[in-house]
Structure 1
């Protein structure tokens, strides 16, 4: 049984009610989006009516529930999961793996890393060493959590020259992810990261930048990177829906010159 196929003891109506509350929607809001009556939504949540498979899929889409949790809804109602969950080594994932490999290779020699829904490193290109150099060996042992690696005092934190600003950015981003998924493990990770030192000077002099850069001391040089996130569009597999590729680009001329002199573009 895969992680997406774990059973739950909670009634399906309670799960629906929780997700609706999490999305700050009234029963009328959800009913209008799903094109059903408010009475029907109420009956589903209280258990007075049993949902069909099609209704659960419709409500899951309107509530923007992650695929993993849509499967949980279906299981709670006695239906089979609708979305498969494969490991990357499975044959059906070969096209996904090839795409990820091509993206990482194309971005080299600039850093890029593939992460799962909990920010554990799945893969990375060789240039990631530019960011992780000097981190404690235990932080680099699989599974490597890239957020822990970046903010831990034994990780990248001592070399991040705008640590307060970067830390605030990471925590804010994590807050949004927790808001979207309700993931308990992410809650625990956020609590851990928030307890690390380095929260001062979150707003740099001169005001807030349009994009928060990662400013890193590398071999005596102050470098600045912007990051972008790539995800797969319209995924129909749980694993694919939870993959993200974080790519780093030079944020200023000095960083571009340093990378050019080092053999990077």
Structure 2
């Protein structure tokens, strides 16, 4: 990665496919000033670096590097979820996942490592040989192991490729995510298109649990206005039943516990 502010600015502008004029309009400065910053004819203030990083929608970690390239101290910390000043956040994560039971829920970091899981989420992950602290991406690229658990592995893997590319692009490129895409593409081999028919509303993931097949779709929750690096990258994946059989089976767990 380039180590000068101007090179970093130009690199991120290219990643976002913005001209100097585009970025100038977004940041409310002239394209000429953007040019001077990139060539080193002008030096940015700390507030200008922050403004440009916001206009370029940089992830928080990249914003720290951007500040450093301009000679300024980092603005964002990376706290552990167990830190004292994260107590309210930790409580919100626990509250959300506990109340989602008996439907599965898990908290994931930017590389899909499982930070936390609720009871049902933990049981579902255990069936795939995954525990808290493990990477879901490592599991999904192991086709030989996962195809016994994830009935429609190929369909899910194709969807994952698109999702991971989108996530990597947002981050300005992520070697781990890009490598996972390459591994998935190699595992899938040559693919044939889906034809001209309409695509389904959702692509559920169908897990084999004993003699049953449970089918889920997911929604993702993230923290708004997060100024911590780790927190800005944390997401809670909430799984919902995509058929009546799955819903009935999970709800029966509540009745059994009662």
Q: TM-score, normalised by structure 1?
A: 0.88
SS of 1:235 mapped into structure 2: coil
Match of 1:47 in 2: 40
CA RMSD of aligned residues (A): 2.4
Structure 1 residues 80-229: aligned runs within 5 Å: 80-136=73-129, 140=130, 143-181=133-171, 182-197=173-188, 203=194, 207-229=198-220
Distance 1:143 1:213 in 2: 24
DSSP-derived class of the 1:211 partner:
coil
Structure 2: give runs of 5+ residues left out of the alignment.
none
2:28 aligned residue (31, 35, 59): 35
Following superposition, the deviation at residue 205 of structure 1 comes to 11
Shift of 1:110: 1.4
Equivalent residue, structure 1, for 2:241: 250
Deviation at 1:200, TM superposition (A): 5.5
- Verify the 8 A CA contact 1:164 1:201 in the aligned structure 2: no
- Whether contact under 8 Å (1:84, 1:237) holds in the other structure is yes
In the other structure, the counterpart of 2:252 is: 261
Corresponding residue pairs, total: 255
Aligned counterpart for 2:58 among listed residues 56, 65, 73: 65
- 1:111-144 Cα deviation digits (max 9, x unpaired): 11111111111111121244234434xxx36641
Which region of structure 1 is more displaced relative to structure 2, 242-251 or 194-203? 194-203
The CA distance in 2 between the partners of 1:126 and 1:201, in whole Å, is 38
1:158-178 Cα shifts (integer Å, max 9, x gaps): 222222211111111001001
Contact 2:102/2:251 (<8 A) preserved? no
Shift of 1:16: 0.8
Q: Return the offset for 1:197.
A: 4.3
Cα separation, 2, equivalents of 1:40 and 1:67: 24
Distance 2:177 2:81 in 1: 22
TM-score between the two structures when normalised by the length of structure 2: 0.90
Secondary structure of the structure 1 residue equivalent to 2:12: helix
What's the CA shift string for 1:206-248, capped at 9, x where partnerless? 7421111111222212221011111001111111101011111
Query: Partners of 2:102 and 2:252 in 1: how far apart?
Result: 12
Q: Is the 8 A contact 1:104 1:124 kept in 2?
A: yes
Are the counterparts in 1 of residues 111 and 137 from structure 2 also a CA contact under 8 Å?
no
How far apart in 2 are the matches of 1:73 and 1:118? 22
Moved over 6 A (4+): none
Inter-partner Cα distance in structure 1 for 2:253 and 2:101? 13
Question: What 5-or-longer segments of structure 1 have no aligned partner?
Answer: 1-7
